[in-house]
Amino acid sequence: MSDRIFGSILTALALALFVSATQLESPFFADPLGPKSFPFIVSGAALICALSMIIKPDKDPLWPSIKTFIKLFTAIIILVLYALSLKKFGFLFPTALASASLSYLIKPNFFKSSSTGIVLSLSLFIIFKFGLGLSLFPFPKFLTG
Amino acid sequence: MELFQNLALGFGIALTITTLSLAIVGCILGTIIGALPGLGPSNGVAILIPLAFTLELDATQALVLMTSVYYGAMYGGRISSILLNIPGDEPAMMTTLDGYPMAKKGRAGDALVLSGVSSFVGAFLATIGLMLLAPILARVAFYFGPAEYFALYLLAFCTLGGIGADNQAKSAIAVCLGLGISMIGVDNSTGMTRFTGGNLHLYDGVDFLVAIVGLFAVTEIFVFIESRGKDSAIGVKLGKISIPFKDIYLTKWTMLRATIVGFIAGVLPGAGASLGSFLAYMSEKSLSKEKGSFGTGDIRGVAAPEAGNNAAAGGALVPMLTLGVPGSGTTAVLLALLMTLNITPGPLLFNERPEVVWGLIATLLIANFVLLILNVPLVKIFTKILQVPASFLLPGVAMISFVGIYSLSGSYFDLLLMIGFGVLGFTLRKLKIPAVPVILGILLGSHMEVSLRRAMVLSNGDWTYLFDSYISVGLWIAAIVGFVAPIFLRSYLKKPTPIGD
Tally of CB atoms within 10 A around A131: 12
B470-489 and B146-164 helices cross at what angle (nearest 10)? 10
Mean pLDDT of chain B: 85
Task: Give the three-state DSSP class for B185.
Answer: strand
Instruction: Determine the pLDDT at residue B80.
Output: 82
Name the residue in chain B with its Cα closest to that of A99. B395
Query: How much is the average pLDDT of B291-317?
Result: 86
- Alpha-carbon distance of B280 to B273, in angstroms, equals 10
Model confidence at B501, pLDDT cuts 50, 70, 90, reads very low
Query: How much is the average pLDDT of B177-197?
Result: 84
pLDDT one-digit tens code per residue, B362-400: 999 999 999 998 888 888 888 888 878 888 888 888 998
Task: Give the three-state DSSP class for B194.
Answer: strand
pLDDT one-digit tens code per residue, B397-413: 899 889 888 888 778 89
Closest-CA distance, A54 to chain B, in angstroms, reads 10
Q: Which residues pair with B185 in a beta bridge?
A: B194
Instruction: Determine the pLDDT at residue B1.
Output: 65
Q: What are the CA-CA distances from residue B356 to residues B7, B63, B69, B330 (Å)?
A: 12, 8, 17, 19
Residues of A with Cβ-Cβ distance to B400 under 8 angstroms: 124
pLDDT one-digit tens code per residue, B227-259: 765 544 556 667 777 778 888 888 888 999 999
Burial (0-12, 13-18, 19+ Cβ within 10 Å), B266: buried
pLDDT one-digit tens code per residue, B115-151: 999 999 999 999 999 999 998 988 888 888 899 999 9
Residues of B with Cβ-Cβ distance to A35 under 8 angstroms: 187, 189-190, 192, 194
Instruction: Determine the pLDDT at residue B493.
Output: 61
User: What is the Rg, in whole angstroms, of the alpha carbon atoms belonging to chain A?
Assistant: 24
CB B273 within 8 A of CB B316: yes
pLDDT at B66 over 50: yes
CB contact under 8 A, B395 and A120: yes
More confident residue, B336 or B197: B336
Tally of CB atoms within 10 A around A138: 14
Instruction: Determine the pLDDT at residue B207.
Output: 86
Closest-CA distance, B483 to chain A, in angstroms, reads 13
Residues of A with Cβ-Cβ distance to B218 under 8 angstroms: 79
Query: How much is the average pLDDT of A77-100?
Result: 90
- Alpha-carbon distance of B97 to B101, in angstroms, equals 7
CB contact under 8 A, B183 and A84: no
Could you state, in order of their start, the residue ranges of all structural domains in chain A?
2-55, 66-144
Say how far residue B306 (Cα) sits from the centre of its chain: 14
Instruction: Determine the pLDDT at residue A86.
Output: 84
CB contact under 8 A, A32 and B457: yes
